Structure 1
Amino acid sequence: MKSCYFLGLFFLVTLKLSAQDTVVYQPNKINQFKLVPLPAIGSNPANGWLFGLAPSATWYMGHPQTTKMSNFVGNFLYTTKKQWIFSSRSNIFLNENKTILIGDWRYFITSQPTYGLGSSTPNDPAENPNQPGVWWGEQQMDFRLVRFYEAVLKRIGDSKFYLGAGYHLDIHSKVSSFQEEEITEVLEFAHDRYNTEMGFNTDKYTLSGISLNMVMENRDNSVSPYEKNFAWVQYKVNPPFLGSDQSSSLLLLDYRHYINLSERRKRNLIALWGFGNFLVSGKLPYMNLPGMGWDMFGRSGRAYAQGRFRGESMVYSEAEWRFPLQQNKETFGGTVFVNAASFSSKTTDEKLFEQFNPGYGVGLRVMINKQNRTTISADYGFGQKGNSGFYLNVNESF
């Protein structure tokens, strides 16, 4: 989930920037386990007020000179709308980087607005001109989500490349759509119409599959890179015999590049991100379609709410200038970013690249652990049609 929940956390951390904010457990010099038990207090229209923890941890599974740093980010939140949000995202490098474990585990009892499919959906609810009798624009959804994604990748020789397999499970249940305000029109919700036409239930559906993954891991640090690059290609197959309601396949492409602008100040850099998620074959339930902000760490689409745009396929790009704000210290930094996304939709007869949803914004960074580059990031993004948002995260956006 986007960490706009953590409003107030930023101010707490800036008042206590010291080693005392980090719990360090060192049974030996190899592990160097460091936990930052961040409190989370915030608010947003979909969830109301949220309270809980957003812990972040870093450690080494081998000698630091030969093994990259592993990391974990969690959310443990309760809201005034009686919602629970639990998540755990991790990148774990085993001894000498011979194996990578990539995990994304979630349990949500939550709600989220949806707007229909494609890049041209409006903000305000109205009848879809391409689908008479169906809502277009903002529609609220309650749902529960159980997600278990885990991939194991083995290093190919002494290279930067890894090859491996993964298992992926999504169970959406107790899904219901509604309008928060009283509206006289009696129209069918976009989620319900799509699922009915595609042969899925409207209240519960399962996606279960396996994936083939290839990763190039060449970053100097995975939580806050200063240089080099990263690439991930994943082909996922969801057959009914593994529990999926219908068969489907997806292709994910993810590439990130970091261009250092100063040898003396490595923190002064340009970061580039290209991301694509494509339905290759079969049919997907509505909430499993590629959507804004539903990447692993929920960082895409600053300027828009999570799920603001959704479609059968998506392409996303972002560029960010990161720079230090102090002449000789690394505590404070800033950023300026621009992004754009495009979605395809058969219901609106939209194809990729026919329409883009751009965003831009600025941000502030506070590095609370300089050795591991653990950072609190606060960003404000602006999008089209009055969309905007404040985002508070642990570590860099990508």
Structure 2
Amino acid sequence: MKKLLTFLTFFLFIGQLLAQDSIQYKPNQIREFKLVPLPAIGSNPANGWLFGLAPSATWRMGTPETTHLSNLVGNFLYTTKKQWIFSSRSNIFLSEDKWILVGDWRYFITSQPTFGLGSSTPNMPSENPNQLGVLWGEQQMDFSWVRFYETVLKRIGTSKFYLGMGYHLDVFSKIENFLEDENSPSELNFSHDYYNQQFGFDLDKYTLSGITINGVMENRDVAVSPYEKNFALLSYKINPSFLGSDKSSSTLLLDYRHYFNLSEKRKRHLIGVWGLANFLVSGDLPYMSLPSIGYDMFGRSGRGYAQGRFRGESMVYSEVEYRFPLQKNKETFGGTLFFNSSSYGSKLTDERLFEKINAAYGVGLRVMINKENRTTISADYGFGRKGNSGFYLNVNESF
């Protein structure tokens, strides 16, 4: 009897292990889940210092050989400029990379300077010589911002290409303009108000709602901190009034990134190249929905300038970054040197794209806190034109 019980116990134990193993490799089940509940201390020119929590999670929905790591980065932050920032941004790869789900959810009670449209705007507030009675240069804005973006992409066969659709919603509300300098020409119209009046948008609240048609090539080894290969995105946004947009419009977004290895033994030693373009194709957009620097998904473009420093109906941005390890045999510490440039066109100010280019450069330090999924703390200092500069403290690589 004891032997029978022993055998039964043994087979039950083996059966349980097999069952667990079969569950472990069942498609689209979460595996290798890792959560890093980081206390957040960040910095950038638009927000000042940020404090709170920035949890970062990675997991896999299939076998490591066929499925990329999924990732989610959250932010629950308060800033020295009295802003509240809540966000969740995710890239989820289902089993065998057959589907990708991309999410970008935000709720901001925030503020930000705006400088007018085009690439030629000055730092200090003054009258726009091309638009009499209109301010250009630094003008402060308080506003609330709700964003809900969710995209579903389907893999084409066994290729690295995906096609899909998404829904996007941006609601800007409680918008207030003001000048911090009492000596500024306060009798002039704010750039935001003047633009919205010209194109028939409300001054204190507006909505952009619509669908996206997307094509993606996902060929990076790890999305949050790539060492090799490339990524491309083509996204056409349609913003019809019957879906809630204040006015109908459409835009085209192009995004390409490539990573060139400089050493087979140390793949962290590389050059990364990033090209980004955003164009208004038809209709009109409200002011805060116009293409702008620092408004990519993770807010990493334009180091050297504050978010929103340049804005226009058309935008072209490029960046090159040299990344290298700082230790001979370890991957904990790394460094970067970067250079970026951007140009903005505006039909309202008659400034053409590439008429003026704003460049920036800088240096950065990287601290890898999780080698397996390459979670990295990044600290950068960038220098732009006309005295613009900024310190940037974030999680993961810039692109």
Same structural fold, with TM-score higher than 0.5 when normalized by the shorter chain: yes
What is the one-letter code of the residue matched to 1:359? Answer: A
Query: Residue type of the partner of 1:296?
Result: M
- Match status 1:115 vs 2:115: yes
What residue is the counterpart of 1:377 in the other structure? 378
Residue pair 2:44, 2:390 contacting (<8 A) in 1 also: no
Question: What residue number does 2:19 align with?
Answer: none
Question: 1:116 and 1:51 mapped to 2: Cα distance?
Answer: 30
CA distance in 2, matches of 1:285, 1:232: 24
Query: Following the alignment from structure 1 to structure 2, what is the Cα–Cα distance between the partners of residues 107 and 93?
Result: 25
Which residue of structure 2 aligns with residue 206 of structure 1? 207
Residue 345 of structure 2 contacts residue 353 of structure 2 at CA under 8 Å; is this kept in 1? yes
Residue 156 of structure 2 corresponds to 156
Note if contact 1:130-1:347 (Cα within 8 Å) is conserved in structure 2: no
Tell me what 1:279 maps to.
280
Q: Does 1:342 align with 2:364?
A: no
In the superposition, the TM-score normalised over structure 1's length comes to 0.91
Residue 67 in structure 1 maps to residue 64 in structure 2:
no
Once residues 235 and 219 of structure 1 are traced to their aligned partners in structure 2, the CA distance between those partners, rounded to angstroms, is 22
What secondary structure is seen at the aligned counterpart in 2 of 1:294?
A: coil
Matches of 2:45 and 2:337, distance apart in 1? 26
Shift of 1:387: 0.4
For residue 66 of structure 1, report the CA deviation from its aligned partner. 1.0
Aligned residues: 372
CA distance in 2, matches of 1:359, 1:43: 18
How far did 1:42 drift? 5.0
**Aligned partners of 2:42 and 2:393 also within 8 Å:** no
Distance in 2 (CA, whole Å) between partners of 1:333 and 1:80 is 29
Runs of 4+ in 1 over 6 A off after TM superposition: none
Listed as ranges, the matches of 1:226-241 within 5 Å are: 226-241=227-242
Tell me by how many angstroms 1:38 deviates: 1.3
- Cα contact 2:293–2:310 (8 A) shared by 1: yes
CA offsets per residue over residues 296-317 of structure 1, 9 Å max, x none?
Answer: 0101000000000000010000
Task: Give secondary structure in 2 for the equivalent of 1:196.
Answer: helix
Q: Match for residue 221 of structure 1?
A: 222
Residue 87 of structure 1: SS of its match in structure 2? strand
What amino acid maps onto 2:235 in structure 1?
A: Q
The separation in 2 between residues aligned to 1:323 and 1:42, in whole angstroms, is: 23
Work out the CA distance in 1 between the residues paired with 2:330 and 2:213: 43
Segments of structure 2 that go 5 or more residues without pairing to the other structure are 1-22
Partner residue in 2 for 1:254: 255
Cα gap change, 1:298 to 1:44, in 2 (>3 Å):
closer
Aligned counterpart, 1:183: 183
Q: CA deviation at 1:83?
A: 2.5
Q: Which residue of 2 aligns with 1:389?
A: 390
Q: Deviations over 1:90-132 (max 9, x none)?
A: 1110011000001110000110000000000000010111111
The match for 2:138 is 138
**C-alpha distance in 2 between matches for 1:69 and 1:126:** 49
Q: Counterpart amino acid of 2:255?
A: D
Match of 2:270 in 1: 269
Q: For residue 41 of structure 1, report the CA deviation from its aligned partner.
A: 3.2
Structure 2 letter corresponding to 1:164: G
1:307-322 pair list within 5 angstroms: 307-322=308-323
How far residue 44 of structure 1 moved from its aligned partner, in angstroms, is 6.2
Q: Deviations over 1:330-369 (max 9, x none)?
A: 1000010000000001222111111101000010001111
Per-residue deviation, residues 249-301 of structure 1 (Å, max 9, x unmatched): 00000000010010011011010000000000000000000000000010100
Mean Cα displacement is larger for which, 286-295 or 127-136?
A: 127-136
1 CA distance for matches of 2:80 and 2:156? 48
Distance 1:48 1:355, change over 3 A: closer
- Identify if the C-alpha distance between structure 1 residues 169 and 378 changes in structure 2 by more than 3 Å, giving closer, same or farther: same
Give 1 or 2 for the bigger CA radius of gyration. 2
Residue pair 1:131, 1:347 contacting (<8 A) in 2 also: no
Comparing 316-325 with 27-36, which one deviates more in the overlay?
27-36
Contact 1:119 1:344 in 2 (8 A): yes
Rounded to whole Å, the distance in 1 between the matches of 2:200 and 2:304 is 33
* Aligned mates of 2:160, 2:362 — CA distance in 1: 33
Instruction: Please say if residues 363 and 378 of structure 1, whose CA atoms lie closer than 8 Å, have aligned partners that are also in contact.
Output: yes
Residues 346 and 72 of structure 1: CA distance in aligned 2, closer, same or farther (over 3 Å): same
Q: Which amino acid aligns with 1:36?
A: V
**Change in 2 beyond 3 A, CA 1:324/1:301:** same
Q: Tell me the equivalent position of 2:84.
A: 84
Instruction: Give distance in 1, aligned partners of 2:318 and 2:250.
Output: 23
Q: Secondary structure at the match of 1:38?
A: strand
78-87 or 61-70, which deviates more = 78-87
Whole-Å separation in 2 of the counterparts to 1:44 and 1:334: 19
Distance 1:170 1:57, change over 3 A: same
Q: Following the alignment from structure 2 to structure 1, what is the Cα–Cα distance between the partners of residues 46 and 356?
A: 27
- State how far apart, in whole Å, the 2-side matches of 1:164 and 1:44 are: 33
| Whole-angstrom CA distance in 1 between matches of 2:259 and 2:49 | 36
Report the residue type matching 1:175 in the other structure. I
Cα distance, 1:135 vs structure 2? 0.7
Distance, in Å, in 1 between the alignment partners of 2:133 and 2:259 is 47
1:357 aligns with 2:324: no
Counterpart in the other structure of 2:15 = none
CA–CA separation in structure 1 for the residues paired with 2:291 and 2:345: 10
Partner of 2:38: 38
Report the more deviating stretch, 42-51 or 216-225.
Answer: 42-51
Q: How far off is 1:200 after superposition?
A: 0.2
